[in-house]
Chain A
Amino acid sequence: MFSNLRSIWIVFLHMFHKRETVLYPEEKAYLPPRWRGRIVLTRDPEGEERCVGCYLCAAVCPVDCISLQATEDEHGRRYPEFFRINFSRCIFCGLCEDACPTDAIQLIPDFEMGEYHRQNLVYEKEDLLIDGQGKVQGYNFYKVAGIDAGVKAKGQGANEDKPVDIKKLMP
């Protein structure tokens, strides 16, 4: 009996408490930088696509919402011919980001992707590609790769020694 009255009184006092609600469209909630939201494809510091079309993201995706087709340019550099993410299936688990060997695919803190038509939730490569490097700054896969795909000549890559002239005896 007394405890009931006490709880009524305590609830009444909540009248003077601050409200917890974040009035969403007017004030946005803070999203941490590693928040898993919309998926983007980033570019390397030179402004070229990072994606090498290895299919690891498509393979790891638990809901199979990623589809792509790899191809090569004239220098042998691999890139996706098309890259399609169906966001009506995506569960924003972030496994694609973990799987990506070149840090190309990344999840960013943005969730405002509402659409009136389902088909508009299918994002093509043009929709996914951004002009920046995203979360991983200064990384270019082809600079450290073992092949020359028109990005670096032999011995020109980052952390790469000059080629050894095998005709000479000097070290």
Chain B
Amino acid sequence: MIENLEYIGMVLAIMLALVLIAAGLIWLERRMLALWQDRYGPNRVGPFGVLQVTADMIKIFFKEDWIPRFADKKVFVVAPAIVMITILLSFAIVPFSPSIGVVDLNIGILFFLAMSSLGAYSVVLAGWASNNKYSLLGAMRGSAQMISYEVFMGLSLMGVVILTGSFNMRDIVLAQRGVWFVIPQFVGFIIFFIAGIAEAHRLPFDIPEAESELVAGYHSEYSGMKFGMFFVGEYLGITLISALITTLFFGGWLGFHFLPPIVWFLIKMFGFILVFILLRASLPRLRYDQLMSLGWKILLPLSLVNILITGAIVLYLNNR
């Protein structure tokens, strides 16, 4: 009984921490973008402007939560919830440290891939239910992008799975005690990173949102807290991809002994979050056909070759 309560407490704490991190990322991103663009960013509310997010939250809660008359109401309301739910569920398989983590699934990676595929529904349904040209265009772009990048996102992880011999995230982390998988699986890491950016639809792959072309893409019609959920969902997505890169390629919680494992995990994760923000600060958006041809003509063959070579080497080493 006590154990169950402790477990529930841990799950809730993880969820709360993740949402707080995602909200804090909004501030972090604005500050870091400003730093890289020789500006200051939000620096008025609270020390270094940390409370800017709180102020924005208060504002967004009191905003009119408007549903357009022409929208498909039920779907319109459900869509933003899907993105939060799928991403938060994906976090269930992330092992934050040897003792912290929600579940220890033996199909961990598959669960994540399934959940991120479901996340595409959020974009599609939001765009469809908005009943608006720009939203629909954004949704179509989003679904095409997410489905095509889904393919080799999964394939790029198979190298890691071949090396470990397991889909379990904890096994994958423990298999990296000798050397982090970023070294034997460098190609896989690069492909997963690019696919991860596309999956989180961040710049340079933020084509479904594309402010300068599509107003705000699939969430043009959203306001108030529903828009807030899309917004936080995007940052949760960044956190998720960063956490997964850390777990799969950079040894998860593994590190030197002078810091506890969770701290190592967070350091690596925030490092990748900063890389995401740096990419946004420096790269322009791709054109849509460029994105598609990059995916299908370069990254997909590359990930297949990666699997072949990794598999061949592992077979050769095991049968010698």
Contacts and interface: CB of A to CB of B under 8 A. Distances in A.
A14 B34 CA distance: 10
A14 B36 contact: yes
A15 B39 CA distance: 10
Contacts of A115: none
Contact of B39 (A4, A8, A10, A20): A20
Interface residues of A, number: 14
Interface string A9-40: 01110110111110100000000000000000
Interface of B: 34-40, 278-279, 281-283
Interface string A30-56: 000000000000000000000000000
A119 interface: no
A18 B36 contact: no
Nearest to A16: B35
Contacts of A11: 36, 278, 281-282
Contacts of A4: 283
Given A4-B283, A8-B278, A8-B282, A21 B40 contact: yes
A20 B35 CA distance: 10
Contacts, number: 34
Nearest to B32: A15
Secondary structure at the A interface, as helix, strand, loop or mixed, is helix
29 contacts: A4-B283, A7-B282, A7-B283, A8-B278, A8-B279, A8-B283, A10-B282, A11-B278, A11-B281, A11-B282, A12-B36, A12-B282, A14-B35, A14-B36, A14-B37, A14-B38, A15-B35, A15-B36, A17-B38, A18-B38, A19-B35, A19-B38, A19-B40, A20-B38, A20-B39, A21-B38, A21-B39, A21-B40, A23-B40
A19 B36 CA distance: 9
Contacts of A19: 34-35, 38-40
A82 B281 CA distance: 55
A62 to B, nearest CB: 33
Given A4-B283, A7-B283, A12 B38 contact: no
